[in-house]
Chains A and B, each alone.
Chain A
Amino acid sequence: MGRATLRRLLRRTTAGAIGFVIVIAMILTAVLGPLWAPYAPNTPDYAHAREAPSAVHLGGTDDFGRDIFSRVLYGARISMTVGFLGVVIGLIPGALLGLIAGYAGGWLDEVVMRVIDVLLAFPGILLAIAMVAVLGPGLVNIIIAIGFFGIPVYTRLVRGSTLQAKELAYVEAVRAQGARAPRILIRHILPNVVAPIIVISTLQLASAILTESALSFLGLGAPPPTPEWGAILTNAKDDLATLPYMALFPGAALVITVLGFNLLGDGLRDVLDPRMKM
């Protein structure tokens, strides 16, 4: 993202600017959160278990007396890491497949798109859940699952843009000069596809973070006592009648983060790719 794009994003789209600020804040929290956290995330303190929010424990404490606010700060690191890695793991093979299928056309395109159709037949997070059921619970497997279920999104997007780009006059000119396919794809077609990839990746980050916390909420994520937002919410669920505040910080952190990425993605779409504007 160039400086000009950033300036346009901040000036022209209020929502995009808000999203940008939230995302930067969340990235800072992921990096520096452990420095800000008043307590260690996993050290039990039974003398102060199940305390309501106070000046000492901003978000209250859980069954083990662990400080919920500190756990949520540490959780930012997990969510952001899993989200980013998951998106990158889906992006690279997905984009490559899309480039190759779109440029080659013919039977190769047909085969790739049929496989993608099958992957798309598994709705939403079902593919991720099925993969974690196969691979077993855990953060690494969640990253793989999130990446895997992102592949068809990128393949379709990049293939579509490649189909358009390869008909452009300058691409034909380069081809007439004898450039080989890999060079054409990487030097001349890929730059055309970057804008939609950035937009979709930002939105995919939101859904990756959602998927990760949903899987953890279902008990398919990292084993306890990992301070993961979805897992903290699962704990909170059991005490909702007596200690409803336990859900407040992890729930808010999750909603704000996902909202931030969604707003930023929408803003970027308006700035980078007006054709996709809703």
Chain B
Amino acid sequence: MGYYILRRVLSATPTLLGVTLAVFMFVHVLPGDPARLMAGIEATEDSVQLVRRSLGLDKPLWVQYGIYLNNLIHGSLGASNRDAAPVSTHIMQAFGPTFFLTVAAMLVAIAIGLAAGMIAAVSHGRVLDFTTTSLAMFGISLPSFVLALALIWIFGVDLRWFPTGGDQGAASLVLPAITLGAGAAATIARISRSEMLEVLAQDYIRVAKAKGHRLRMVVLQHALPNTLIPVITVIGLHFGFLISGAIIVETVFAWPGLGRLLIDSISFRDYPVIQGVVLVFALEFVAVNLLVDVLYARIDPRVRYQ
């Protein structure tokens, strides 16, 4: 197992390096002077010069990339040109809220998605199956910001059950988490339905049924564990989409996370922060994919020997 993890981490390294290179190039493909962009539009000529020297922007590009990597390893992402605070401070502050939001959304998605998928599969071909699959298709096509507006209107404005925005404790997490999790729930429902249908057609399920076990037990104890592998892959993949979906949801609900930091920074043309947040999002995505692979190997030993 340890060997497998090491191999997976090593094979992800080129991708990680590629991501840092892409994010590094980000500012250099912009038209205009990168030093001026990093220092901010209103910066004086002196501070532009200072930025040029401190970032090594007067050196060859590959040396600059080396400096960038070195700074990165030491946890330095530069300074925001809005308030001169280190980018890493901004990111640390915003990371927590995004993390909680994403995890809450994932829990919502898994709970609703798995349950819906199982119910649909067990009632295959009947009205309940049709209703669930239709709802799942609808859920996939429903843009998060449209759902957000509907939820804010119904539960925030009309019924006044939950706050409509900001971070005012656990209650304000409810609407954003449902909004963010809905799409993933729909996908998980579709995958777990089709996987469950396949498993339910297997001989060992027929044996379990023939032995007189109750349907609920057959589904939960025999069928569910065998549907989990593809479902976990989808969950892992969707974690990445949740990370990026958070950009929109946080903006609608004024949730103080990384997504909102990104959108705010774009409107202020705060390139050091934009660069940092994009990097964190991408690294997170690669890390989650790696984690899914490892989890996969843990559940299904066959994967390790391929």
Q: B-contacting residues of A (Cβ < 8 Å)? A: 15, 114-115, 117-118, 121-126, 129-130, 132-134, 206, 210, 213-214, 217-220, 230, 233, 236-237, 240-241, 244, 247, 251, 254-255, 258-259, 262-263, 266, 278
Q: How far is the CB of B68 from chain A (nearest CB, A)?
A: 16
Contact of A240 (CB < 8 Å), options: B149, B190, B194: B149
- CB pair B146–A233 under 8 Å, yes or no, is yes
Contact A121 B18 (CB under 8 A): yes
Q: A125-B248, A130-B278, A236-B149 known; 14 other A-B pairs, CB under 8 Å?
A: A118-B18, A118-B19, A122-B22, A122-B282, A123-B243, A124-B244, A125-B247, A129-B244, A130-B274, A133-B266, A214-B143, A218-B263, A219-B263, A262-B140
* Residues of B contacting A254 in the complex (Cβ-Cβ under 8 angstroms): 143, 146
Is there an interface contact between B146 and A122, defined as CB atoms closer than 8 Å? no
A114 in contact with B18 (CB, 8 Å): yes
**Residue pair A114, B137 in contact (C-beta under 8 Å):** no
Task: Report, nearest first, the 9 A-B pairs whose CB atoms are least far apart.
Answer: A124-B244, A118-B18, A123-B240, A259-B141, A258-B141, A126-B244, A251-B146, A123-B285, A123-B244
Contacts of B157 in A (CB 8 A): 240-241, 244
Q: Distance in Å from the Cβ of B35 to the closest Cβ of chain A? A: 16
Q: For A218, what are the chain B residues with a Cβ–Cβ distance below 8 Å?
A: 247-248, 251, 263
A204 to B245 CA separation, bound complex (whole angstroms): 17
1/0 per residue, CB under 8 A from A, across B31-66: the answer is 000000000000000000000000000000000000
Residues of A within 8 A of B245 (CB): 124
Contact call B145/A115, Cβ cutoff below 8 A: no
**Does B30 lie at the interface of the complex (its beta carbon under 8 Å from any beta carbon of A)?**
yes
Kindly identify which residue among A117, A236, A251, A258 contacts B15, using a CB–CB cutoff of 8 Å: A117
Chain B 172-197 per-residue mask, 1 if CB under 8 angstroms from chain A, else 0 = 00000000000000000011001000
Are A237 and B19 within 8 A (Cβ)?
A: no
Closest approach, in angstroms, between the C-beta of B190 and any C-beta of chain A?
6
| CB < 8 Å neighbour of B149 from A133, A219, A233 | A233
Q: With A134-B29, A213-B143, A218-B251 in contact, do A123 and B282 touch (Cβ < 8 Å)?
A: yes
Q: Let me know if A118 and B15 touch, CB within 8 A.
A: yes
CA distance A210 to B247 in the complex (A): 14
- Cross-chain contact A134 with B26 (CB below 8 angstroms): yes
- The residue in chain A whose Cβ has the minimal distance to the Cβ of B27 is A134
Cβ proximity bits B95-113 to A, threshold 8 Å, 1 near / 0 not: 0000000000000000000
Min CB gap A121→B, angstroms = 5
> Contacts of A237 on B, CB cut-off 8 Å?
149, 252
> In whole angstroms, what is the CA distance A121 to B22 when docked?
11
Contact call A278/B140, Cβ cutoff below 8 A: no
Contact with A along B144-168 (1 / 0, CB 8 A): 1110011011000100000000000
Is B286 at the interface (CB under 8 A from chain A)?
Answer: yes
Question: Which B residues are in CB contact (< 8 Å) with A117?
Answer: 14-15, 18
Residues of B within 8 A of A247 (CB): 146, 149-150, 153
Kindly report which residue of chain B lies nearest to residue A137, judged by CB atoms.
B266
Residues in A with CB closer than 8 Å to B138 are 255, 259
Measured between beta carbons, the chain A residues less than 8 angstroms from B140 are 262
Known: A122-B278, A251-B149. A259 touches B137 (CB 8 A): yes
On chain B, the residues within 8 Å of A240 by CB distance are 149, 152-153, 157
Does any Cβ of A come within 8 Å of B281's Cβ? yes
Q: Which of B18, B244, B248 contacts A115 (CB 8 A)?
A: B18
Residue of B nearest to A247 (CB): B149
In Å, the complex CA distance between A258 and B267 comes to 28
Instruction: Report B81 CB to chain A, min CB distance, Å.
Output: 14
- Answer yes or no: B24 CB below 8 A from chain A CBs: no
In the complex, which residue of chain B has the Cβ closest to the Cβ of A15? B137
B residues near A214, Cβ cutoff 8 Å: 143-145, 248
B142 within 8 A of A: yes
Compute how far the CA of A133 lies from the CA of B261 in the bound complex, rounded to whole angstroms: 13
Task: A258 to B139: give the CA distance in the assembly, Å.
Answer: 11
Contacts of A15 in B (CB 8 A): 137
CA–CA, A244 and B150, complex, Å: 9
Cβ 8 A contact of A126, one of B142, B146, B150, B282: B282
Q: Is B190 a contact of A126 with CB atoms below 8 Å?
A: no
B296 at the A/B interface (Cβ < 8 Å)? no
| Residue B262 lies at the interface, judged by CB distance under 8 Å to chain A | yes
Pair A122/B281 contact, Cβ less than 8 Å: yes
CB proximity of A73 to chain B, nearest CB, Å: 18
A102 CB → nearest B CB, Å: 20
With a cutoff of 8 Å between Cβ atoms, the chain A residues found around residue B281 in the complex are 122-123, 126
Contact B194 A278 (CB under 8 A): yes
User: Which single residue of chain A is at the shortest CB-CB distance from B239?
Assistant: A123
Q: Is the CB of A134 within 8 A of B30?
A: yes
30 inter-chain pairs at a CB distance below 8 angstroms, sorted by A residue, are A15-B137, A117-B14, A118-B15, A121-B282, A121-B285, A122-B19, A122-B278, A122-B285, A123-B240, A124-B245, A125-B244, A125-B248, A126-B243, A126-B244, A126-B281, A129-B247, A129-B266, A134-B26, A210-B143, A214-B143, A214-B144, A219-B263, A220-B266, A230-B145, A233-B146, A236-B149, A240-B149, A255-B142, A263-B137, A278-B190
Contact A262-B137, Cβ < 8 Å, known A134-B26, A210-B143, A237-B252: yes
